[in-house]
Amino acid sequence: MLNRRHLLTGLTAAGVMLATRSQAQGTSAIPLPAARPAPADRRFTSPAVEACITRVKAQIKDPNLATLFENCFPNTLDTTVTASTIDGRPDSFVITGDIDAMWLRDSSAQVWPYLPLAKGDAALQTLYRGLIARQARCILIDPYANAFMRDPAAMTNLVWSQHDLTDMKPGVAERKWEIDSLCWPVRLAHGYWRATGDLAPFDDTWRQAIHTVVDTLRTQQRKTGDGPYHFQRPASNPVDTLGGNGYGAPTRKVGLIHSGFRPSDDACIYPFLIPSNHFAVVSLRQLAEMAPAAGLDTAFAEGALTLANEVTAALMLYGRTHLRDITPNGPTEVWAYEVDGYGNTLFMDDANTPGLLGLAYLGAAAKTDPLYQATRKAVWSDANPYFFKGSGAEGIGAEGLGGPHIGADMIWPMSLTMYALTSRDDAEIAMALRTLKTTTAGTGFMHEAFNKDDPAKFTRPWFAWANTLFGELILELATRRPQLLA
């Protein structure tokens, strides 16, 4: 059966044809193309974003890096936003790029880097109000869904979802339960509130959705049974379906939250996905912080903090593991990627966020925290089965994270961007920038994944999250490490 993975990898052939000409000439030896749509063809325009592009480009000495920033940073606004109104209030539908559906995770992450510019830009505020409202309505349709249709009355048009054995509802594009799908909208709402002080999005519908978020996280602790969520898919690849009659592998009920799938949309091996449990703790604390301003009562805030504290305690008891033979000093303690509460653990990391690498980015760990540092070092090493090293482009080498979603030897640019965003070392950041700049296969955009030895073999020529995240990195460097751009 056709599924999302087939669609994505099926795009590679087109990418190779597009890339081969520039690869033959040397990917960074020739200027990268200025590839934004013409102004009249852009889906959404922000004066603050346009001014930011002009300002930051002037700080970047390398012309190809400057072109990449100009192409990538506004890509979400240029190509993925549909802005309208519903009942006289803003509505924003944000697709991933080449898939005409809205993922709660992707849509939140795609617009996150524009938040510092929102307070002074009425257009951006309208976009955020509309997206926060749309996400709240989606959560109320089904808190277990990861992706939604443009029309809330329509059944899914995603061919890989049409025969799923689950409680499919109108408006749902795909129903893979992923903890982070509920955390990203919380992060966006909290970030918007902190950036602007604007309380307009936080109405009764949003508050109802937020109560649903916390109730769902609590239900998925599964203390008294399997809970209501189940999912099976007729699929040849086991990462597209759940075992255990659709409920996943067995667990010991220890207070951690179950996740059916990872942020890659791949099935968990062990249902306690540690990075996503960390993300849930951050989100619950953010909700408690903003509760008084957003009209959520004291009992709600206290309940959110109680759940956050319970999950934190369980993470400390069950979420860590030891890796042997990665240092001369014996076993090293790190965060596990997945556990089952019985003592079985999996160490790996996936290029998507939340992952172990991105814990510091999400505010779940300090960059200086020794446990995070040990985990980060192990993730970016042969201790992680999805860490790949290759010859890259022009013989300069390439290294980064991939995952089961695309498979062996495929590095995701998002992992390099996250490596730089979580780094305290100029050499690490410079390596990531060099690799990102030389592995676009001459397109001037980030992709989902590229082959470690041949960047002309890539998936998804249009992947807005990867593009905008790269723009976020450049903004961060322009502010905190301008010497790396100059």
Rg (CA), the chain: 21
* pLDDT at residue 330 in the model: 67
Measured between alpha carbons, how far apart are the two ends of the chain, in Å?
50
Nearest to 280 by CA among 184, 145, 205: 184
* pLDDT at residue 171 in the model: 98
Question: Cα(151)–Cα(353) distance, rounded to whole angstroms?
Answer: 27
Question: Cα(293)–Cα(214) distance, rounded to whole angstroms?
Answer: 18
pTM above threshold 0.85: yes
| H/E run at residue 323 | strand 320-323
* pLDDT at residue 13 in the model: 38
Q: What's the burial of 169, exposed, middle or buried (CB within 10 Å: 0-12/13-18/19+)?
A: middle
Written in H, E and C, the secondary structure of 106-141 is HHHHHHHHHHHHCCCCHHHHHHHHHHHHHHHHHHHH
Q: What is the largest CA-CA distance in the chain?
A: 64
- Chain-centroid distance of CA 50 in Å reads 24
Alpha-helix residue ranges (DSSP H) falling in 152-297: 179-196, 204-219, 274-294
Measured from the Cβ of residue 252, the count of other Cβ atoms closer than 10 Å reads: 13
* pLDDT at residue 328 in the model: 63
Phi, psi of 148 (to 5 degrees): -135, 155
Output the DSSP codes for 410-422.
EE-HHHHHHHHHT
Contacting residues for 155 by C-beta, under 8 A, at least 6 apart? 149, 162, 168, 170
What is the Cβ-side half-sphere exposure of residue 284, based on CA atoms within 13 angstroms? 25
What sign does the CA torsion over 450, 455, 456, 461 have? positive
* pLDDT at residue 30 in the model: 78
Q: Along the 486 residues of the chain, how does pLDDT read in single tens digits?
A: 445 554 444 344 343 333 333 333 334 467 999 999 999 999 999 999 999 999 999 999 999 999 999 999 999 999 999 999 999 999 999 999 999 999 999 999 999 999 999 999 999 999 999 999 999 999 999 999 999 999 999 999 999 999 999 999 999 999 999 999 999 999 999 999 999 999 999 999 999 999 999 999 999 999 999 999 999 999 889 999 999 999 999 999 999 999 999 999 999 999 999 999 999 999 999 999 999 999 999 999 999 999 999 999 999 999 999 998 766 666 899 999 999 999 999 999 999 999 999 999 999 999 999 999 999 999 999 999 999 999 998 778 999 999 999 999 999 999 999 999 999 999 999 999 999 999 999 999 999 999 999 999 999 999 999 999 999 999 999 999 999 999
Nearest to 113 by CA among 126, 102, 124, 122: 124
Question: Cα(37)–Cα(71) distance, rounded to whole angstroms?
Answer: 9
* pLDDT at residue 24 in the model: 32
**Which residue reads 């307009």 in tokens?**
200
